[in-house]
């Protein structure tokens, strides 16, 4: 019934409304909304750089709040977890297929917006799908050093991306709106970070561009950053969600051996070990 309701809801209009509310500076009304959200979702404000909910002019400012310095130490392992959240699925890319949930798969080509040449670089590689719940810290950081090569905005629908929907909506991550960020690592080769939109996700932003989708387009857009020397180090912020969603990462073949402690549905935190480069 929850999935059927999502098919029926005017998701684009709801998302636009949520975006306007989240961006509004409503004084005491905004503060009451934030207090309700903190209470309802058990948000741990002790980790925030500013724990006083009255200091946030808008809900978006609260939702994308920075953490205290040192709150998330970055591992010395080759790959660091880029977000606070939970593991949806991870593992090997079967030829060019990624597991969304039991019984559901989608292709890397679909995920990156139809670019078969880009997708081919990750054939038989590895993937990880990480879900951010409403209570989580919503800035996204780098899993390893990378030089930005391209960014692709892919319009799409706006289903929720929670675990229930992931189990019930085929091709969920490859049909929702998304921002595909293509990097090259000096040590690990090409990798992709895909920011997946969802119902009431007001927008997605990157540190080099700002808000990518202030007005939702009907066609894909691309930006070429080759030669611009935009280099981000492991653990640095690369983007954020204005309301929560999912990050999908793609790595090349033989690039990453995931941490032994990783398993589906396990909570994860920014900076913890995600994996190492295989030896031999």
Catalytic residue among 96, 136, 138, 141: 141
List 84, 115, 136, 259, catalytic entry = 84
Q: What is the DSSP pairing of strand 221-224 with strand 146-154? A: antiparallel
141 is catalytic: yes
How many CA atoms lie within 13 Å of 142's alpha carbon, on the beta-carbon side? Answer: 23
Q: Which of 58, 126, 185, 245 is catalytic?
A: 245
Residue the block writes with tokens 């998304």: 178
State the Rg of the chain over Cα.
Answer: 18
Please answer whether residues 108 and 265 qualify as being in contact, where contact means their C-beta atoms are separated by less than 8 angstroms.
Answer: no
Which conformational region is residue 113 in: left (phi greater than 0), alpha (psi within -120 to 50 degrees), or beta?
A: left
DSSP assignment, residue 157? Answer: B
List beta partners, residue 178. 154, 196
159 φ/ψ sector (left φ>0, alpha ψ -120 to 50, else beta): beta
**Cα-based distances in Å from 56 to 17, 20, 69, 152:** 20, 16, 19, 31
Q: Residue 118: is it exposed, middle or buried by C-beta count within 10 angstroms (0-12/13-18/19+)?
A: buried
Q: Is 245 a catalytic residue?
A: yes
Residue 84 a catalytic site member: yes
**Which residues are known to be catalytic?**
84, 141, 245
């Amino acid at each position: 019934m929850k999935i059927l309701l999502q098919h029926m809801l005017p998701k684009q209009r709801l998302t636009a409304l949520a975006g306007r509310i989240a961006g509004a500076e409503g004084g005491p009304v905004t503060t009451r909304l934030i207090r309700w959200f903190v209470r309802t979702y058990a948000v741990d404000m002790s980790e925030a750089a500013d724990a006083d909910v009255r200091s946030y002019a808008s809900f978006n400012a609260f939702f994308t709040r920075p953490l205290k310095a040192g709150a998330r130490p970055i591992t010395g392992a080759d790959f660091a977890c880029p977000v606070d959240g939970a593991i949806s699925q991870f593992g090997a890319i079967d030829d060019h297929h990624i597991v969304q949930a039991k019984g559901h798969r989608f292709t890397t080509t679909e995920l990156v917006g139809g670019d078969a040449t880009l997708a081919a670089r990750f054939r038989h590689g590895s993937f990880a799908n990480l879900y951010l719940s409403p209570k989580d810290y919503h800035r996204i950081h780098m899993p390893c050093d990378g030089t930005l090569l391209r960014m692709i905005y892919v319009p799409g629908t706006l289903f929720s991306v929670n675990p229930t929907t992931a189990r019930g909506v085929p091709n969920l991550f490859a049909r929702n709106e998304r921002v595909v960020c293509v990097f090259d690592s000096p040590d690990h080769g090409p990798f992709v970070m895909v920011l997946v939109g969802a119902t009431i996700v007001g927008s997605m932003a990157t540190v080099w561009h700002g808000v990518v989708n202030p007005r939702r387009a009907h066609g894909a857009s691309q930006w070429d950053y080759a030669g611009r020397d935009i280099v981000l180090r492991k653990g640095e912020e690369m983007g954020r969600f204005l309301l929560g969603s999912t990050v999908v990462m793609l790595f090349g073949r033989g690039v990453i051996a995931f941490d032994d402690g990783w398993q589906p549905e396990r909570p994860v935190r920014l900076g913890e070990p995600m994996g190492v480069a295989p030896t031999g």
